[in-house]
Chain A
């Protein structure tokens, strides 16, 4: 054994004898999700692709209008949400692929989940910034000169671009945690358990809605949604995200590879 190797061994032994922080490997768990960067570039492609598609449709619609038929009405599209569903799917997919490997790398489930939450948070913030920037661009250029708005939607930008971005980020985080939770639900209870839980949740939701409608009527029910602002939507999404983070830990604690 060379001197260098001996010193390496000695320092390694000291490192393992020394009581290390239980969170020391969270950065490693964080980077586990970014090993192949699919979690970043696939949603980016969907974001750009959906936007381009909606612009193409806007352009086509504008050409159908007879020339000089008066001022164009702005066209609002929902393509901004395509990336959201992509993120939810990618979060589920990332969970299903990194979890078994994370266990092989001897991460505790807690450390793995904390690393995962940090990655999702980072991606949600990036998505929010991108969404806000896209909305700003649409506002500045009158829908890229085509009157087509996919991000600067009236409800979302009512309180400004920053709030629109915050709302987009909160919704993205919530959907990613739901997607990830779905994977862990499957890992924890298998396919039958997965659908049993999903059906139970659906029934409970329907019953809750019916009881609410019974108490306040349909107007009261829809009226509540109508009264929400972008900021309150961000708040509700954030709340669901926090609850889902807890649910995810409950599921992952006893999930097997």
Chain B
């Protein structure tokens, strides 16, 4: 594997909080990564460190094998448009694209114009007067048309409606297929981007709690559906992520995969085995802390859910 971004033991402290706590992670070349985590988990801080917009309190970041801070050999190859990006006052989208065209060596103006038409970005409206979704679209277009070798999308879907989000996913995949590059998508809408991403990095309270290819995650948990007593037989003693009971039928999600014997038994008991969504896994993995504190309440809540 060929890592283009190497983050080694990065800690970032602000006055009273630790935004990142000894984070070590690698992002591979030409792979679409999902950077997931709750609000305040440290996603934007991590992206800011990698793009040299901020710097670590300790630890090191390397992009293309070099330190990115003030490094013009590295920076033109990176694009990071923030979630609430501030643009030049009174600038229109075309102004922002013109500035981006000068900044990014691989910029594709035709692609930018096509995207602006697809997303219906108004030509004459100043960016600060645009709706939230239109502003997000401007950021998304800069990210896509920059064709930067390392591109970050920070909650790119904010304010975008379902049609526009789908358009973004479609264009991203199509352009990625033609121009493979390293993409890092930070998002809350985990299930919506699950089919896009090949690798997941999950942050929780400034720490990496998961760093795995999406393929491997599928074996991390399983959902069993069927007769309540049969489900109970196979899930006894396991960590239950979610449990729903409807009359005599139960639907239980447990951590860990089933071995061959258990799968055979599930077949005999006429149970359906369903893969667990990325979102469910993430919710479980990022709520461990609360689980410890309020396990009783949580189980109750899950049973009611």
Contacts and interface: CB of A to CB of B under 8 A. Distances in A.
A64 interface: no
Contacts, number: 107
Interface residues of B, number: 42
B73 to A, nearest CB: 6
Nearest to A30: B102
A28 interface: yes
B79 interface: yes
Contact of B103 (A19, A20, A28, A253): A28
B84 to A, nearest CB: 10
Given A25-B76, A35-B95, A104 B104 contact: no
A31 B104 contact: no
Contacts of B148: 106
A23 B71 CA distance: 11
B106 A12 contact: yes
Nearest to A24: B72
A109 interface: yes
A9 B77 contact: no
Contacts of A19: 73
B204 interface: no
Interface string B168-203: 000000000011000000000000000000000000
A167 B270 CA distance: 91
A27 B102 CA distance: 9
A256 B108 CA distance: 28
Contact of A101 (B72, B88, B178): B88
Interface residues of A, number: 39
A218 B107 CA distance: 62
Contacts of B102: 25, 27-28, 31-32
Contacts of B53: 103, 256-257
A21 B86 CA distance: 28
Interface of B: 48, 51-55, 70-73, 75-82, 85-91, 95-96, 98-100, 102-106, 108, 142, 147-149, 178-179
Interface of A: 1, 5, 8-9, 12, 15-16, 19-25, 27-28, 31-32, 35-36, 38, 93, 97-98, 100-101, 103-111, 253-254, 256-257
Given A15-B105, A25-B102, A106-B76, 6 more contacts: A8-B108, A38-B89, A38-B90, A104-B142, A106-B80, A256-B53
